């Protein structure tokens, strides 16, 4: 099985999509009879590319966002068309069996079957919470390119149903394959946790949010809930600041929470694992997720979880998390108070979380993905 994969997501920050591709292919390339070529936009490499340096990547991205939206959209379309041209040339020069598309839209190639991983359809359902240039790019190319995919992988059953119900895609052409926590996420010793906390000047007792600080992550509701809690426990926000208006920053000031909310920005994996391990709880109030990987990462580190009861999150969390209505601030407040204040309940959910996280492994994800590739290759022969 000779696979060519779009490796561009691997060159960004190690967030949701890049973590999926990196963890998946770290296992896939070790499976028997699997050969992987990483397409970087111009040529194929046998080695997985390195991720970006976070500070310089974030600065470059923010500079792009300062440009006019129409200009950025036009440049993005031209870059994508050039990407496709180089990809077709690479496929003609080499004998690949399948192309795995890991970006926002499938590439227009016909020489080999295209398997497309679609993470969510937030660009359809939550358009106002994405940058305009990204929405315009999606609108221009998504429907034109989707027919090139002979099979679609989704990262949850919820997303599989979303595609069937919203886009009318034949259910036989979609396979749901869940993600998993990276084995790097496991409980850290208290001394390691304290060292990280003290080094950054963070409080020893805290609740935690992990994810890009974009609008659909629902940070404003979390801030409002924090202001109503019985305790004065602080909140650490760990994640790249992302796009969109930071309304929650105004909420922090308006509610007098400047000394209780800490913005940690993008963190390396070791620091993040320590934060998970030391938190009283992960609070994940997102309005919409295709999967919600921080839920499992926290559980794997021994951190009890509060998450939304919508989209994919109940599927991922099972009965191992406390589920809340992400639009009900009173529900969020009461649940934070309960889990923070009841140590016996915390320990119960820590135990449940360990068991739940163990149900998901990247080895299983890799084997199921290989099976999709195998069926697609056989159908094309």
Q: What is the pLDDT of residue 265?
A: 82
- The tens digit of pLDDT for each residue in 57-87 reads 777 777 876 889 899 999 999 999 999 999 9
- Tokens 């020489």 appear where? 111
Q: What is the pLDDT of residue 244?
A: 62
The percentage of the chain sitting over the pLDDT mark of 90, rounded to a whole number, equals 85
- Does 184 score more than 90 pLDDT? yes
Residues of CATH 3.40.50.2000 domain(s) within the chain? 2-180+361-380, 190-358
The percentage of the chain sitting over the pLDDT mark of 70, rounded to a whole number, equals 98
For the segment 200-209, the average pLDDT, to the nearest whole number, is 97
Nearest CA-CA partner of 273 in 7, 8, 14, 9 = 14
Angle, vertex CA 311, rays to CA 136 and CA 357, nearest 5 = 120
d(CA 87, CA 107): 8
- The tens digit of pLDDT for each residue in 221-256 reads 999 999 999 999 999 999 877 766 678 889 999 999
Nearest CA-CA partner of 353 in 291, 288, 286, 281 = 281
Q: What is the pLDDT of residue 9?
A: 92
Q: What is the pLDDT of residue 248?
A: 85
Query: What's the CATH code, domain 2-180+361-380?
Result: 3.40.50.2000
Q: What is the dihedral of CA 325, 326, 331, 332, to 10 degrees?
A: 140
As a whole number, the mean pLDDT across the chain is 94
Instruction: Give me the CATH topology for the region 190-358.
Output: Rossmann fold (3.40.50)
Confidence of residue 95 (pLDDT cuts 50, 70, 90): very high
């Amino acid at each position: 099985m000779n696979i060519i994969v779009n490796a561009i997501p691997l060159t960004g920050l190690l967030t949701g999509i890049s973590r999926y591709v990196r963890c998946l292919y770290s296992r896939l390339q070790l499976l028997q009879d699997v050969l992987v070529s990483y397409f970087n936009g111009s040529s194929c490499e046998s080695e997985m590319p390195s991720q970006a340096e976070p500070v310089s990547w974030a600065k470059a991205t923010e500079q792009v966002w300062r440009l006019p939206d129409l200009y950025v959209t036009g440049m993005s379309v031209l870059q994508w068309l050039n990407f496709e041209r180089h990809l077709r040339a690479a496929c003609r020069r080499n004998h690949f069996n399948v192309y795995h598309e890991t970006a926002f839209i499938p590439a227009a190639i016909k020489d080999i079957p295209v398997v497309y991983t679609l993470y969510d359809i937030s660009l359809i359902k939550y358009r106002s919470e994405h940058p305009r240039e990204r929405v315009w790019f999606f609108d221009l190319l998504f429907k034109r390119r989707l027919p090139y995919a002979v099979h679609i992988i989704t990262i949850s059953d919820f997303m599989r149903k979303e595609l069937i119900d919203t886009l009318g895609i034949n259910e036989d052409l979609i396979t749901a394959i869940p993600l998993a926590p990276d084995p790097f996420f496991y409980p850290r010793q208290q001394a390691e946790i304290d060292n990280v906390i003290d080094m950054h000047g963070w409080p020893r007792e805290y609740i935690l949010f992990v994810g890009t600080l974009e609008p659909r992550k629902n940070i404003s509701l979390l801030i409002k809930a924090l202001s109503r809690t019985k305790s004065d426990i602080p909140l650490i926000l760990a994640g790249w600041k992302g796009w969109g208006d930071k309304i929650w920053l105004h909420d922090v000031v308006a509610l007098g929470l400047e000394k209780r909310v800490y913005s940690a920005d993008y963190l390396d994996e070791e620091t993040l694992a320590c934060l998970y391990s030391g938190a009283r709880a992960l609070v994940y109030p997102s309005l919409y997720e295709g999967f919600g990987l921080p839920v499992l990462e926290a559980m794997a580190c021994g951190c009890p979880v509060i998450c939304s009861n919508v989209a994919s999150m109940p599927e991922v969390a099972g009965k191992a998390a406390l589920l809340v209505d992400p639009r009900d601030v009173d529900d969020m407040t009461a649940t934070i108070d309960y889990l923070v204040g009841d140590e016996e309940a915390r320990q119960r959910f820590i135990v449940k979380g360990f068991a739940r996280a163990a149900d998901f492994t990247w080895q299983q994800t890799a084997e199921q993905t290989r099976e999709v590739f195998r069926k697609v290759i056989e159908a094309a022969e």
